Structure 1
Amino acid sequence: MPARAALVTGGARGLGAAAAERLRRDGLEVTTLDLADADISVDVTDEKVLRHVADRIGPVDVLVNSAGIVGPNKPLLETTPEQWRQVFDVNVLGTVNTLRTFVPGMCERGWGRVVNLASMAGKDGNPNLAAYSASKAAVIGLTKSIGKELATSGVLVNAIAPAVIATPMNEDTAPEVLAHITSLIPMGRIGRPEEVAELVAFLCSDQVSFSTGAVYDISGGRATY
């Protein structure tokens, strides 16, 4: 049986890079997408370009949506519509675009795994990160919806909601915001990318067969529901 093919967006660094490395260890043929420094440089907000990518790389069995931006680190009342549109274009519509592009082929073949990277911010709402929190709440709702839509197709769609993880993305987060969200973690530390990658690998495997539209917390005990 040929190796399964995986596509990881945001795969140049952070959680995407860790997930790609972990999936390769499981024997998957992984292609990473990112704005730069990935196997293919592409903007996930451009669905037309994504369709060209699909034609180029062929069938995809596993899709990990890790591309995302934090957006403005400031109170909601100081944010602009343009900032909100940018965050939602990448974090929400970027995920929708990859689903629309790569999931139909999975459905045709009767097997697929999709993992969307959400965030604890999408459940709890982090202060001074309203756009990011709202976008990740949207990813959770999106995952629940498409998980139900595809429940009998053989394609499972789940989300992961990490607490703060040691990634380059969080290097851009204001120190006081980072300190606040770290203080909410009962384990008293931030997570590591490889810890999230293990959960990604599990959700991309045949070991998962009766879970779809679910949200898996990886939060050091922060999650309360």
Structure 2
Amino acid sequence: MNNIFQQRKEPHMTRSLDGKVAIVTGAARGIGLGIAQKLKADGARVAVWDLDVSDCGAQRLQFEPDHIQQVDVASISSVEQAFAATLGTLGQVDILVNNAGINGPVAPCWEYPVDAWQRVIAVDLNSVFYCCRVAIPHMRARGGGRIVNVASIAGKEGVQFISGYSAAKAGVIAFTKAAAKELAKDNVLINCVAPAMVETELLSEMSNAHIEASKAKIPMGRFLQIDEVGAMVSWIASPECSFTSGFTFDLTGGRATY
């Protein structure tokens, strides 16, 4: 079976993701948008998936998506329909970036609202399983693929007062490790990135005390930038990342050293 991610000697101007098709969930804004922009700049055709695609024109996104799909990633039927629609437009999927997520409330675990817990787990963890469950058979049949799951330093360490988010992201990391072992001989590589806090509009959902406490834990003394996440994800999704699967790549400014 041909390795569709095998590196080849190509002209100097060839971009790292030329010929690839990528889905990025939660790509209408924030981290997902930055990832989608970078994948497009590196040559991929990009499908933007988001729950709200009402303002996804090229002018606001600052790039021209190849496909825009409204999808509720917390619903398996919605994911199945979105994947079929994406295949119908773009013909193939080589890269899946599971980025969609929500923070949830900041509260002690014994006061954490049950409905909020269920929603955080659904959007941040179940969605990763749903999207992978739909995409992996297609990638295996094509002879390979790349999946990048956006986890969090909270999934490694557990962060007080965001137990739902921490639990969901820890689940993403564990799921990635398990799936990577299952797919190791199929040329479908699945990895995570674990960012520290990123400067996005989601900061408005958090208390100032939580934001400052998070920044104080970063040895570099600053928040992660969206373009830094995009650069890391694009490399993981490229043919240059060829012998790493099940790994969680650090994006924490020195906070995590393992």
Normalised by the length of structure 1, the TM-score is 0.97
For each residue in 1:152-187, what CA deviation from the matched residue of structure 2 results, as whole angstroms up to 9, or x when unmatched? 101000000000110122221111111101100000
Match of 1:41 among 52, 70, 74: 70
Whole-Å Cα distance in 1 between the matches of residues 257 and 207 of structure 2?
A: 25
Partner of 1:50: 79
Aligned pairs for 1:112-151 (under 5 A) are 112-151=145-184
> Is contact 1:126–1:181 with CA below 8 Å preserved after alignment?
no
Q: Do structure 1's residue 88 and structure 2's residue 121 form an aligned pair?
A: yes
For the Cα contact (< 8 Å) 1:113–1:204, is it kept in 2?
Answer: yes
Deviations 1:89-137 (A, max 9, x none): 0001011110011111001111100000000011111111111011100
2:41 alignment partner in structure 1: 25
**Partner SS for 2:212:** helix
Alignment of 1:189-200 (within 5 A): 189-200=222-233
Partner Cα separation in structure 1 for residue 23 and residue 202 of structure 2 = 20
Shift of 1:80: 2.3
Instruction: Name 1:178's counterpart in structure 2.
Output: 211
Moved over 6 A (4+): none
1:44-83 alignment to 2 at 5 Å? Answer: 44-58=73-87, 59-83=92-116
CA contact (8 A) 2:70 2:82 kept: no
CA distance in 2 between partners of 1:60 and 1:98 (Å): 12
| Pairwise CA RMSD | 1.2
Of 18, 27, 31, the match for 1:11: 27
Matched residue type, 1:174? S
Partner secondary structure for residue 8 of structure 1 = strand
Residues 127 and 177 of structure 1 are in contact (CA less than 8 Å); yes or no, is this contact kept in structure 2? no
Cα deviation for residue 75 of structure 1 reads 1.1
SS of 1:105's partner is helix
Q: Aligned pair 1:215/2:248, yes or no?
A: yes
The CA distance in 1 between the partners of 2:207 and 2:140, in whole Å, is: 42
User: Aligned partners of 1:212 and 1:108: how far apart in 2?
Assistant: 19
**How far, CA to CA, are the matches of 1:53 and 1:40 in structure 2?**
6
* Mapped partners of 2:86, 2:70: distance in 1: 13
Aligned partners of 2:208, 2:110: CA distance in 1, in Å? 20
Counterpart of 2:65?
Answer: none
Q: Paired residue for 1:162?
A: 195
Aligned residues: 225
Distance in 1 between the 2:234 and 2:170 partners? 23
The whole-number CA distance in structure 1 between the counterparts of 2:165 and 2:43 is 33
Aligned position for 1:203:
236
Alignment deviations for residues 195-215 of structure 1 (CA, whole Å, 9 cap, x no partner): 011000000000011000000
Q: Aligned equivalents of 2:160 and 2:232: distance in 1?
A: 27
Structure 1 CA distance for aligned equivalents of residues 81 and 44 of structure 2: 22
